[in-house]
Amino acid sequence: MAATDTTAPESPAGLLDRLTGNRRLRPVVQVLLPAAVLVVALLLIPFVFTRVHPYTMADGVQLVLLATAALGLVPLTGYAGQVSLGQAAFYGTGAYATAILTVTFHQSPLLGLLVGAVAAGLLAWLLGRALFRAAGHYLTLATIAVGLVLGVVVKQLGITGGAEGLSGLPPLSFGGVQILGDVNFFYVAAGVLVVASLVVQRMCRSQLGTTLLAISDSPVAAQSGGVDPAPQKRFAFVVAAVCSAVAGSLYALWSGFVDASTLDLNLSLQLLIIATVGGRRSVFGATVGAFVVVSLARIAKEWLPDVSSHAGGQVEIIAYGLALILVLRLLPRGIIGALAAWLNRLSASKSAE
């Protein structure tokens, strides 16, 4: 993973320095500008998705939820270099925890969200400890196995509603005010996405990020430098789990229904593709990647069935697969990474003039 991408991502602050020549603005700009761009982009979604066929606001909600879940892959896959195909396990944990707490125990949705995040984090931490000797492909396979085993287990247990799942979840509410309707829910979920993006970004900019990069570049060198890679990678794993769990809880509250499909391998694949296409080293890659994946799915579903009279099935996975292959071969840093590199070159040539 590390061998293909050895440069650290260009900081927008450095970029802006060259444009504005004002170093005192750096801290403010470093945080506010990217956040502002993200907020603007998200605000465009209700505008566009309710007017352009075939998008719907349901797509918009799924976009921000998927982006939130994919955020966790930035420290885990982007920085620590670990491919995880088990994020759906944590998404489902969040969804089921919220469902059980609200439907069976009649607690508030927010408590459900909290419990879901804690449960997922705990599960990730335990798995990290149990699997600490596995690495690379083996750990990837372990992540797949976890998701699949959980998928089977929830279909058998009574408390998770068996194969029928749990339905009748109450809508999300803050202090008595219910969030009804796709557009309103979108604003709440988008807000969560923005906050989560900033938090994860802060984490990756800190010592943790540098350490994870060092570990993925050369584990042996890091170890001889006195750094124990395991706890750091475990922490990244926990962060990824929490992001997915929060997204899963929100999904449960939006759809009012939870079943084993929240643990599906396809979801894990989608998240990996989102992170890769958008850019594994940037939190904004998650949003961009989610937009690309949701759009591809919509367009493929509208157009591909007309190609052949026999067509059926999840034809949009052709688009996912092609996007993944093309990005990995041509734009290995993802869309955001490529954009950052391009802006870099642009300002470098400007200052040379």
Partner 1 sequence: MSALLQYVATGVTVGSAYALVGLGIALIAQVTGVVNFAQGQFVMLAGLLFAVLEEHDVPAAPAALAALAATVLVGLLLERLVLPRKAAGRTDQAIMLTIGASIVIEGLAFVAVGTEPHFASPFTAGGALHFGGASIDRQYLWVVGIALVIMVTLWLLLTRTRLGWAMRATAMDADAARLSGISPSRMSLLVFVAAAALGAIGGIVLAPLQSPDASVGIGLGLKGFAAAVIGGLDRPAGAVAGGLAVGIVEALASGYLPSSQSGYADGIAYAVLLVALIVRPTGLLRRVAGERV
Partner 2 sequence: MSTRHWVAAGLAAVVTVAVGAGCAKEQGSGGDSSQIVIGADLELSGPAAVQGEAYQRALKLVAADINKTGIKVGGKTKKIKLVIKDNKSDPAESLTVAKSLIDNDHVAAMVGAGASPTTIPIIPTVEQRKVPLVSMGSSDAIVKPVRKYVFKTPGNTDVIGDIMLKAFAKKKIKKIAVLSVDNAYGQAGLKVWQQLDKEGKIDLVAHEAFPDSVKDLSVQATKVTSADPDAVVVWAIPPQSGLAAKALRQHKYPGDHVYYDTGAGSELFVKGAGAASEGSYMVHSRVLAGNEITATTPAAQTEKNFFTEYSAKYGNFSGFAPMAADALNLIVAGIKKAGSADSQDIQKAMENLDYDGTFGTYQFSPSNHGGVNESSLTVLQVKNGTWSLSDLG
Which one of residues 118, 183, 230, 324 is an interface residue with partner 1 (CB under 8 A)? Answer: 324
Residue 307 binding: pick among partner 2, partner 1, none (C-beta 5-8 Å cut-off by kind): partner 1
What's the min distance (Å) between Cβ of 329 and partner 2? 29
d(CA 267, CA 66) in angstroms, rounded, equals: 9
**CA quadruple 343, 347, 349, 352: dihedral, nearest 10:** -160
Q: Which is nearer to partner 2, 36 or 122 (CB)?
A: 36
Residue 320 binds to partner 1 (criterion: CB under 8 A): yes
- Using the rule CB under 8 A, give the single segment among 62-70, 174-182, 318-326, 335-343 that binds partner 1: 318-326
- Using the rule CB under 8 A, give the single segment among 109-117, 123-131, 257-265, 279-287 that binds partner 2: 257-265
Residue 256 binding: pick among partner 2, partner 1, none (C-beta 5-8 Å cut-off by kind): partner 2
Residue 138 binds to partner 1 (criterion: CB under 8 A): yes
Residue 120 binds to partner 1 (criterion: CB under 8 A): no
Residue 217 binds to partner 2 (criterion: CB under 8 A): no
Which one of residues 7, 14, 28, 44 is an interface residue with partner 2 (CB under 8 A)? Answer: 44
Which one of residues 153, 163, 195, 318 is an interface residue with partner 2 (CB under 8 A)? Answer: 163
Residue 3 binds to partner 1 (criterion: CB under 8 A): yes
Residue 55 and residue 297 in contact, taking contact as beta carbons nearer than 8 Å = no
Rounded alpha-carbon distances, angstroms, from residue 209 to 76, 79, 205: 10, 7, 6
Residue 259 binding: pick among partner 1, partner 2, none (C-beta 5-8 Å cut-off by kind): partner 2
Residue 92 and residue 221 in contact, taking contact as beta carbons nearer than 8 Å = no
Residue 227 binding: pick among partner 1, partner 2, none (C-beta 5-8 Å cut-off by kind): none
Residue 178 binds to partner 2 (criterion: CB under 8 A): no
The residues that bridge with 258 in the sheet, in sequence order, are 166
What's the min distance (Å) between Cβ of 301 and partner 2? 7
What phi and psi, each to the nearest 5 degrees, are found at residue 58? -60, -40
Residue 225 binds to partner 2 (criterion: CB under 8 A): no
Secondary structure in 3-state letters for the chain: CHHHCCCCCCCHHHHHHHHHCCHHHHHHHHHHHHHHHHHHHHHHHHHHHCCCCCCCHHHHHHHHHHHHHHHCHHHHHHHCCCCCCCHHHHHHHHHHHHHHHHHHCCCCHHHHHHHHHHHHHHHHHHHHHHCCCCCCHHHHHHHHHHHHHHHHHHHHCCCCCHHHCEECCCCCEECCEECCCHHHHHHHHHHHHHHHHHHHHHHHHCHHHHHHHHHHHCHHHHHHCCCCHHHHHHHHHHHHHHHHHHHHHHHHHHHCEECHHHHCHHHHHHHHHHHHHHCCCCHHHHHHHHHHHHHHHHHHHHHHHHCCCCCCCCCHHHHHHHHHHHHHHHCCCHHHHHHHHHHHHHHHHHHHC
Which one of residues 36, 130, 195, 346 is an interface residue with partner 1 (CB under 8 A)? Answer: 130
Residue 320 binding: pick among partner 1, partner 2, none (C-beta 5-8 Å cut-off by kind): partner 1
Q: Which is nearer to partner 2, 171 or 332 (CB)?
A: 171
Q: Which is nearer to partner 1, 106 or 310 (CB)?
A: 310
Q: How many residues bind partner 2 (CB under 8 A)?
A: 44
Contact positions vs partner 2 (CB under 8 A): 19-22, 36, 39-41, 43-44, 46-47, 49-51, 53-54, 56-59, 62, 155, 162-165, 167-168, 182-183, 255-257, 259, 261-262, 264, 301, 305, 312-315
Contact positions vs partner 1 (CB under 8 A): 1-4, 81, 83, 130-131, 133-142, 144-146, 148-149, 151-153, 155-156, 220, 265, 269, 272-273, 276, 304, 307-308, 310-325, 328-329, 332
